[in-house]
Structure 1
Amino acid sequence: MSEHDSSTNLWHQLLESRISRRSALKGSVAAAGASLLPLSLETASAAPTDAPSAQARGNAANTRPPFSPIRPSTADDLVLPRGYRYDVVRIYGDEIAAGQPFGYNADFTAYLPIDWLEGGQSSTDGLLWVNHEYPNPLLQHGNLAGPKTPEQIAIERTSVGGSVFRVQRQRNGRWAFVGDSHNRRVTGFTTCRLTGPVAGAAGVRGAVEVSGSVGNCSGGITPWGTILSCEENVDDYGAPLVQGGFGYGWDQSYVKEHQGWVTEVDIYNPSSTPLKRTAMGRFRHENVAIRLSANNRVVAYMGDDRNDSCVYKFVSDGSYDPKNREANMKLLETGKLYAADFQNGTWLLLDYASQNALKNAKAANGTPLFRDQSDVLLNASGAASVLRATPVDRPEDLEVHPLTGHVYVALTNNSAHGNFHGQIVRMIEENNNPEATSFQWDFFATGGPQSGFSSPDNLIFDPYGNLWMVTDISSSRTGRGIYAFQGNNAMFFFATEGANAGKAVQFASGPNQCELTGPSWTPDGRTMFLSVQHPGEESSGMDKLTSHWPNLGGDPMPRPGVVAISGFPGWRRR
């Protein structure tokens, strides 16, 4: 995947300009008691209003957090407010189905009611999807330096991908795993199918069927009840094993171009083949946030999770039909892919046929960068760079506000440019139309000691428009130096309207050296599923473990897993 030219540092020029203008405008309206400026005030008349909808106004009391805030913690446990508890549902190595263990480094989760296909909304019985992002050779088989045996590679390759399994809330209120015919694993060995313009193309060596899904970070849920699992850091698996590096040293049959896609999985059909949606582009996918347009086209917002990379949008050619799930399953096969230009507030179409700049782009040796649309999609980040899309600071999660339609973007950090704590920005499409080709943007929250949080990552909204966010401080830096103020990685609550909009309130703190990832709700809002990823990641040996979470049954080994958090009041006025 191509790297962006970040030498001009355009994004930080835009940030400085926006901060200066925002500060001046805040000063001019301070007497009016404004708590949150509207986006791009100089053109606000053309933008949708920031005023809450009737539904939001009716739920104004629900912009207050439903918990008493906790303080930052360095405890080796998942710390929650009084009145909340967690159940460990699955951890690495637990059986999902016969001979299929729960994978490593749990990430994105998605709960779908067991009766969803029949129109049900069960909040006590459902299917839970969990991504598995990457392995940990030391903690899985002990061989950190290599070379690895075929058996060790198989352990790692089986531990990535995703898990789907049935969960139920028991009479005592506890959540438990349930053996079921829906339960299965998707791994680095699972046969997947490429769909769309890149299927069978030269850039994927003519392949249509490919082996495995890896680097599964965050994801999304479609309106027709399938899971979108995002393949992020996929270049490492076939790379040579280097001490202190990121290569995993898998066999050379690994083809990196077969990875790096958004993979759609029908969790209600255990015999279905995972589908890699190449029309949505290949880059380091973090997640997918879906919104339907007025024409029922599927609009997907995505981020390329690395320093100096871009924000993308996919718009399907076809329209969603709530009565035709089979037809909906083809909607992500064709469409238009855009990259965001934050300087001009425009979406740039990554289309070989209509963009002469892509046709004329040359590599350093003079050969064409792109020969057709399949090349553009294979190297979406390179195409975005040619069209001068704006590289930003590690765009991780994007989510759509359920009441306003605004898109919130977590920019984790970029220490290369002095952005150590990140920020959350929000985008407003022209006329609030997700198919629009222009937008406005502004800050929502900025990380740092003054804000109480650092390095925003996964986001999730509740129905009242409150934002819940987890952080991604590197394991080697949590609780240290400039990150000491936050302690371990954590979860925060933000109101998005009212006097406290944009102010972080801490809900949870994770075990040592973990990330809390992939929060998801049950339909009634009484349970949140959450992954605890890579606890004890900085362990240097089996006799030097830095975490023992979840510390079940006397097992000292740190094991990533997924938990169910109870204690929420649910979706009612508080």
Structure 2
Amino acid sequence: MLRGVTNPVSSSASQSFWHRLLDAKITRRGALGTAAATAAAATLPVTFSGAQAAANNGGPVGAGATQADPRTYPPFRPIEPTGADTLTLPERYRFQVVAPWGEVFTEGGREIGFNHDYVGFFPIDLLEGGSSSTDALLTINHEYVNALFVGGNTKERTREQIDAEMKAVGVSVVRVRREGGGWKIVPDPRNRRIDALTEIELTGPARGSAAVKGATTVRGTVGNCSGGQTPWGTLLTCEENVDGYTKAWAGSGYEAMHQGWVTEIDPFDPAWTPRKRTGMGRFRHENAAVTVAKDGRVVVYMGDDMQDSCIYKFISRGKYAPGNRAANRDLLADGDLYVANFGNGSWVLLDYDRNKKLQEARGSDGKALFGGQADVLADARASALAVGGTPVDRPEDIEIHPRTGEVYASLTNNSKHGNYFGQIIKFREHGDDWTAQTFLWDVFAVGGPQSGFASPDNLVFDPYGNLWMVTDNSDLSSNPTKAFHGNNAMFFFPTEGPNRGRAYRFAVGPVDAEMTGPVFSPDGRTLFVSIQHPGEDSESLDKLRSNFAAKPGSNVPRPTLVAIEGFPGWVKA
């Protein structure tokens, strides 16, 4: 059943706005022209009160706006910050809990995993060239477990609890369908779990090397944070924060060097063994933004989610072959990894044989840091810093603008340098070529009280090129400098026109929760979002801070996938 949380402002202006939006005629400019328009210096977002007043009047936000153009202001009336233990949305929008932790969804009795993150939307007819918006395979990352909720033991874990945790992380592949006015999980032989016990193949230069202790196949995928989707219909799930499991899962056979990679999974083919793509490097992978360059090579942008860590780009050696899915599934096994140098706007190759700095790199003891390419990839962070990669402020997500081709990155924060609120940057490759060796960059939006947001995390674009962002504030309840923010939230940013770079609050999550992994259905009428770790700061099961999505008869909060509806869909030109 769909539940709604409304804003108390009168809906008359909103209805007028929606009618004009649906009737609007969109002039789609060429990518080059739009890129030129957005290359101007970014302005700081307006205050919430100004955006609220303009939107409440049913008119375009910002001076000079004269029509309901969905590229220049939001399709909703912005909401106020709140600390409520629910998912708060603008008037006319509603949400449904679709796939909560613990829901049985396979014939074999497997349950949806814990702490949902990235969501991939794969239309059920994708392999036949379709784009269904009402029937799909969803892939849901499960980043980590909260020992209080999974096993009830926050101290020394038992063998049984470790087993339960291993089965609760990884990825869920879930078929969902919209029917009867809402979304539901439907039976499908492709419904399955890939967890910390699943057999996965290693590919690329580190396969079988000493860097991975000679392994060619490994057990499991863990720390599954954000990810990406390939043009051939597979998931790239990104492994982050994997080292902490070594102590937590002591005695389980867990091997940290086998984790921290990008793992490719085919949601349509359960018989296809998942692959860890070692050529894309080992670090705290947050995301994988995939695109196809002019010459057919596949390019993947990635961030290392850690203070003073870097942004990377992987370029395949082979070329994408439309219609040849079997060949395309091997494209990411072989390629070149680069790190960004923002000081001179260049991409630096991380290849042991072709970059002497890697051969000459020495540790504090005078010994060589790397003995070959496998070592370079297994410690990509050290490799990046050794060749001049620029440390940045926690690159949590990177996404590519669908109209301009510019690359946007959320830099969450860095308390080491006094950057407590974070920012969003964007860069444009030379010649609008994603394989280029140089780029230009600037700041798109800056967090803080003046803009209303802090700690930007996952990003998603709609087809108009508007940017939607969710926040990752882990210290909201203890940091007085973020009192303006309320619970973690979701914001809308126009990327062109007079309001580009201005933040408008669309949603606010439950207590202690993050909203993660947002993805739109192809028609734009449903936004799927994960609600991760509600009530995470609870002291005990007797002192819960949240009850969001709890089972009937229980007070324990549950991470879950939700479907948000009320969008008008995409307006055709």
Letter in 2 for 1:459: L
Q: Secondary structure at the match of 2:483?
A: helix
- Assess if the C-alpha contact under 8 Å between 1:196 and 1:279 holds in 2: yes
Is 1:569 the counterpart of 2:568 in the alignment? yes
CA distance in 1, matches of 2:240, 2:393: 16
> Which residue number corresponds to residue 300 of structure 2?
300
Q: Secondary structure at the match of 2:245?
A: coil
- Change in CA separation of 1:39 and 1:291 when aligned onto 2, cut-off 3 Å: farther
> Which residue number corresponds to residue 503 of structure 2?
504
- Assess if the C-alpha contact under 8 Å between 1:39 and 1:440 holds in 2: no
Letter in 2 for 1:119: G
Give a deviation string over 1:214-266, Cα, whole Å, max 9, x none. 00000000000000000010000012xxxxxxxx2432622111000000000
Structure 1's unaligned 5+ residue stretches are: 1-33, 41-56, 240-247
CA distance in 1, matches of 2:337, 2:169: 28
- Change in CA separation of 1:359 and 1:490 when aligned onto 2, cut-off 3 Å: same
> Which residue number corresponds to residue 189 of structure 2?
181
Letter in 2 for 1:523: P
Letter in 2 for 1:123: S
Give the counterpart of 1:167 among 176, 187, 194.
Answer: 176
Structure-to-structure mapping, 1:379-390, within 5 angstroms: 379-390=379-390
> Which residue number corresponds to residue 111 of structure 2?
101
Deviation of 1:58 after TM superposition, in Å, equals 12
- Assess if the C-alpha contact under 8 Å between 1:61 and 1:573 holds in 2: no
CA distance in 2, matches of 1:568, 1:272: 36
**Count, aligned residues:** 514
Letter in 2 for 1:140: V
> Which residue number corresponds to residue 454 of structure 1?
454
Is 1:233 the counterpart of 2:233 in the alignment? no
Letter in 1 for 2:298: V
Letter in 1 for 2:147: P
Give the counterpart of 1:145 among 130, 146, 155.
Answer: 155
CA distance in 1, matches of 2:521, 2:459: 16
Letter in 2 for 1:295: D
- Assess if the C-alpha contact under 8 Å between 2:71 and 2:465 holds in 1: no
Letter in 1 for 2:529: L
CA distance in 2, matches of 1:134, 1:350: 30
CA distance in 2, matches of 1:541, 1:549: 16
Is 1:223 the counterpart of 2:231 in the alignment? yes
TM-score, normalisation: structure 2? 0.87
- Change in CA separation of 1:35 and 1:296 when aligned onto 2, cut-off 3 Å: closer
- Change in CA separation of 1:37 and 1:123 when aligned onto 2, cut-off 3 Å: closer
> Which residue number corresponds to residue 52 of structure 1?
none
> Which residue number corresponds to residue 124 of structure 1?
134
Give a deviation string over 1:115-171, Cα, whole Å, max 9, x none. 11111111111101000000111111111111x211010111111101011100013
Letter in 1 for 2:407: V
CA distance in 2, matches of 1:252, 1:189: 10
> Which residue number corresponds to residue 277 of structure 1?
277
Q: Secondary structure at the match of 1:96?
A: coil
Q: How many percent of aligned residue pairs carry the same amino acid?
A: 54
- Change in CA separation of 1:82 and 1:479 when aligned onto 2, cut-off 3 Å: farther
CA distance in 1, matches of 2:86, 2:514: 12
Q: Secondary structure at the match of 2:321?
A: coil
- Change in CA separation of 1:238 and 1:344 when aligned onto 2, cut-off 3 Å: same
TM-score, normalisation: structure 1? 0.87
Give the counterpart of 1:158 among 150, 153, 167.
Answer: 167
- Change in CA separation of 1:420 and 1:319 when aligned onto 2, cut-off 3 Å: same
**What is the root-mean-square deviation of aligned Cα atoms in Å?**
1.8
Deviation of 1:505 after TM superposition, in Å, equals 0.3
CA distance in 1, matches of 2:572, 2:126: 25
- Assess if the C-alpha contact under 8 Å between 2:469 and 2:491 holds in 1: yes
Letter in 1 for 2:81: P
- Assess if the C-alpha contact under 8 Å between 2:177 and 2:186 holds in 1: yes
CA distance in 2, matches of 1:344, 1:289: 23
Deviation of 1:292 after TM superposition, in Å, equals 1.1
- Change in CA separation of 1:115 and 1:61 when aligned onto 2, cut-off 3 Å: closer
Deviation of 1:99 after TM superposition, in Å, equals 2.6
CA distance in 1, matches of 2:502, 2:553: 40
Is 1:375 the counterpart of 2:385 in the alignment? no
- Change in CA separation of 1:112 and 1:551 when aligned onto 2, cut-off 3 Å: same
- Assess if the C-alpha contact under 8 Å between 1:189 and 1:211 holds in 2: yes
Deviation of 1:551 after TM superposition, in Å, equals 3.5
Give a deviation string over 1:2-45, Cα, whole Å, max 9, x none. xxxxxxxxxxxxxxxxxxxxxxxxxxxxxxxx9976269xxxxx
> Which residue number corresponds to residue 207 of structure 1?
215
CA distance in 2, matches of 1:558, 1:337: 41
Structure 2's unaligned 5+ residue stretches are: 1-35, 43-65
CA distance in 2, matches of 1:504, 1:338: 32
- Change in CA separation of 1:59 and 1:304 when aligned onto 2, cut-off 3 Å: farther
Deviation of 1:554 after TM superposition, in Å, equals 3.4
Is 1:464 the counterpart of 2:472 in the alignment? no
- Change in CA separation of 1:122 and 1:479 when aligned onto 2, cut-off 3 Å: farther
Deviation of 1:60 after TM superposition, in Å, equals 4.2
Q: Secondary structure at the match of 1:486?
A: coil
Q: Secondary structure at the match of 2:149?
A: helix
> Which residue number corresponds to residue 71 of structure 1?
80
